[in-house]
Structure 1
């Protein structure tokens, strides 16, 4: 199945359509927040006041995430108000143009899971399923996109070469030792 997703031209066509759909969902959500303004304070306060709990025991299901919202996200809501819309927009653009597709899908999944941990179901499960397929397909999902050109370029220019080593990372050199005179 993995080979099919990553190498088959018909799978690449279907993945391109899927990537465009998921990308549009992210771009649309992020762009509206950038254009119309976005304030996560109310959402964060609501997620802290009404955390996800086990109905049988009334215990928090994600206590660490709730503490993160309370002690890190809410006090830094001005940063969150920038990061969320910008992140959604960049994920959407990455998926639409097919540039760094697997990374864009990964960060989209990360945001989907964060929204779920905060108690928002909405379209998150649907986008997790579709985004997961795109991420698993990796370069196959970006075959008809910028990744077709970008990934070979990055592979070529980000490798470390030793003489005759062909793509291996050079060994760590020991630090020079100084002797007192």
Structure 2
């Protein structure tokens, strides 16, 4: 299956449709946060995650490391401006990267980071679906961005930064 996702022309076209769909979802969410009537504020989400962490059936914290992370990097929920900025711009940039097929693998990776962060905060919503779709794009490697700007960007970056070269054939 992975070989088919990474090398098939049929998979390349299906991945393009999947990539553009997921990119549109991310970009529209980010754009709405940036251009809404009032600035996006992640403090409610963060405070909710700090006060009511996700627990397992026994009542123990399911993600103690994430609770520690939120408490530490938001000063117990009192400094959330950086997260508000990162969420808004992160969603928009991930979406644009996926739509245009530019740095597709990086965009897919950071989309997954955001999805898992939302899950760690207790927000289920569309995140499991986005995780599956983003995971497929990430597993598919270069083939997920071939019909897009990655056709030119990836070979250029690999020529300038040799450490980006790997054993995956770039046609």
Common fold: TM-score over 0.5: yes
Q: Which residue of 2 aligns with 1:61?
A: 62
CA deviations 1:116-162 (Å, max 9, x no partner) are: 011000000000000100011111000100000111111112228xx
Match of residue 120, structure 2, among 117, 120, 123: 117
Structure 2: any 5+ residue segments left out of the alignment? Answer: 166-171
If the length of structure 1 is used for normalisation, what is the TM-score?
A: 0.84
- Aligned counterparts of 1:35 and 1:102: Cα–Cα separation in 2: 27
Aligned length: 160
- Aligned counterparts of 1:129 and 1:113: Cα–Cα separation in 2: 11
Matches within 5 A, 1:15-34: 15-34=15-34
Matches within 5 A, 1:97-112: 97-112=100-115
Q: Which residue of 2 aligns with 1:51?
A: 53
Match of residue 42, structure 2, among 40, 43, 55: 40
Matches within 5 A, 1:1-181: 1-36=1-36, 37-55=39-57, 57-73=58-74, 74-159=77-162
Q: Give the drift of 1:72.
A: 1.1
Deviates more, 1:43-52 or 1:65-74: 65-74
Q: Mark the structure with the bigger radius of gyration.
A: 1
Q: Pairwise CA RMSD of aligned residues?
A: 1.3
Paired residue secondary structure (1:76): coil
